[in-house]
Amino acid sequence: MNSNFETDRLLLEPLSMDMTLFIYELLNSKEWIRFIGDRNIDTLDDAEAYIEKILRTKQLQYWVVKLKDSKTPIGLVTFMKRTYLDHWDIGFAFLLRHAKKGYAFEAASTVLKAFQQLKEHPVVLATTVTDNTNSIKLLEKLGLRFDKKIKVEKEILSLYTSANSIE
């Protein structure tokens, strides 16, 4: 599913090559580096290469979240099949200046609902570093529940699962 979504306040559009400057800014934000990790996006060329890699990867979907009225990009929602997880994973990241306004919930819940309606995705997962309290609160608000801690490379992550997947 690589479609556009629309909410009352937001547009969600598949990532495209014209988002290089936004990707550069988001991936170099203090919050992205702290909670997601440094992707070594040091130049606009690096950001362009990052987008190209995402667009070539079949089991990876990124939506750029934009304010509906101004078309300003403010964040991302992702849906991907990670090699270390049994099911697809939803993720999100927003520029700090757009935090605490309900945008992340509005965008992520729209994508989550769309995928939960598909029979091939009866379970949706999410991971976060254990000290990312804002993401944890949002995952719980989205209806995902803590399942367990997992070790990925050298990092301990909290694994959340959609409520309908817990027996």
Digit-coded pLDDT (tens) for 17-74: 999 999 999 999 999 999 999 999 999 999 999 999 999 998 999 999 999 999 999 9
- Fold type of domain 5-121: Aminopeptidase (3.40.630)
Number of Cβ within 10 Å of residue 43's Cβ equals: 10
128: nearest Cα among 97, 154, 102, 150: 150
Q: What pLDDT is attached to residue 165?
A: 42
Mean pLDDT of 141-153: 95
Number of Cβ within 10 Å of residue 80's Cβ equals: 15
SS3 assignment, position 120:
coil
